[in-house]
Structure 1
Amino acid sequence: METKTGTRQGAVEGYLSADFPWYGLDQAFTGPRWLGQLGAGADGTVEHGAIGHGDEPSLKAEAADPEGQKFAVVVTVAERPLRRSADGTGVMEATSVSSAAWLAGSGLLSATWPTRMDRALRQDWLDQQISAAWELADELTGAGWSSLTLPVDGVPTAFHYRESEYGWVMAGSASGVHLGAYGRNLSAYGLALAAVPDLSAYAG
């Protein structure tokens, strides 16, 4: 496994502190792997994160060669029940497959938004598209999604799958976690996911 170094590499300690397994593409994928963004609750508990494969998305690279970036990112979301917030003043929603679908959809948009758009309009566009991604994630049985079965730790697993002009997104569940994934120029068909056996390899 080739591990890609970078500024986000410093987050490896946060990944190692999670109380759930991380997922990525299985060992059939031999290209670069890198850590994406890590999400934590108000009390510091790790809730979700992403492991990327292939090219690390870059808006500069997107502007230079919109069709050239080739990547797949696997998002792991801890399976959490309905629970009290860290400060005890509210209730946090249970995580679900929709949570993974939204994180994957917003991740794809953040990686591939139109660089030729006027800078003043980009944030409005991104906000609108991420809102639409949430609506789609909340309706996984709707017409915007199809079914795709891929191996997860060798077990055939059903995913909700959709394609757009920006790439593809999928979401499903494994033991103790919800899984999302997104990619571009790297087909989702034929991929296989597996728990990462040794995350310390990302320490560089």
Structure 2
Amino acid sequence: MDTTSSARTVTAGEQGAPVVGAQAGPPADPLAPYLAADFPWYGLDEGWTGRRWLMQAGAGQTARGAQRGSVDYGTLGHGDEPARQYEPRDMRRFAVVVTMARRDVRRSADNTGTLEATSASSAAWLAGSGLLAATWPGQLDRALRQDWLDQQTALAWDLADDLDGPGWSTLTLPVNGLPQPFRYRESEYGWVLAGEAPGVLLGAYGRGVSAYGAGFSAVQDLTNYDGR
């Protein structure tokens, strides 16, 4: 999934990458892409007292399509950062919140077609692929790891495309203090959920942190995630 001209696809094991198609390197100001967004960012609410950290923000992510341009989605981390390559993963405790702008159907970057509108399925796809990137089995060699990732990514896409199917259940969680329904699923790798919030679509994934006690709120001060 392409983003900007300097972007590359980040694969599992590289920086514990949570978002496929993220920027190749950190910008001079890590907050810059977040501040450039035309939508509110969401994170865990004040009930979360642990560490908060910036992850990545990108442009044009709509499920399997991409478009160069404005910031369209991004992630904020809570707890332990996902393991780097070959580091132990089982002891990591984290929750990541995916915020995605609501975008209508629009022309692709090369003007040869259209991109589908963003939806809760788009947020579920980003969350599902993020969980895979954060939890892939570290003992696999490179070839087997890629086969595993390809297989699991296809499964994550199929699941995201069928949020009303048997692979998902309903979980109601607070968003800005008000109850909001989410689609939720668990696996041996962790959990994923997807839903909506005022002005945006929300996804989240985690491991070692219970989703049942999570709450979300619009971020009032992004420097709480900057860590500088």
TM-score (norm 1): 0.90
**Larger strand fraction of residues:** 1
Counterpart residue number, 1:104: 127
Match of 1:55 among 80, 86, 90: 80
The structural deviation recorded for 1:193 is 0.2
- The answer to whether the 8 A contact 1:74-1:181 is kept is yes
Counterpart residue number, 1:3: none
Question: In the alignment, does 2:187 pair up with 1:164?
Answer: yes
Q: Which moved more, 1:193-202 or 1:164-173?
A: 193-202
Once the two structures are superposed, the pairs formed by residues 105-144 of structure 1 within 5 Å of their partners are: 105-144=128-167
Once the two structures are superposed, the pairs formed by residues 68-83 of structure 1 within 5 Å of their partners are: 68-83=91-106
Measured in 2, the distance between the counterparts of 1:202 and 1:126 equals 29
Unaligned runs of 5+ in 1: 1-6
Residues matched between the structures, number: 196
Match of 1:145 among 165, 168, 173: 168
- The answer to whether the 8 A contact 1:59-1:112 is kept is no
Task: Give % identity.
Answer: 63
Counterpart residue number, 1:180: 203
The structural deviation recorded for 1:8 is 4.7
| 3-state DSSP of counterpart to 2:146 | helix
Measured in 2, the distance between the counterparts of 1:86 and 1:175 equals 27
Measured in 1, the distance between the counterparts of 2:48 and 2:156 equals 28
**Larger helix fraction of residues:** 1
- The answer to whether the 8 A contact 1:63-1:116 is kept is no
Measured in 1, the distance between the counterparts of 2:224 and 2:159 equals 35
- The answer to whether the 8 A contact 2:52-2:224 is kept is no
Counterpart residue number, 2:36: 17
Counterpart residue number, 2:22: none
- The two structures, once aligned, show a CA RMSD in angstroms of 1.6
The structural deviation recorded for 1:123 is 1.1
- The answer to whether the 8 A contact 2:42-2:218 is kept is yes
Unaligned runs of 5+ in 2: 1-24, 61-66
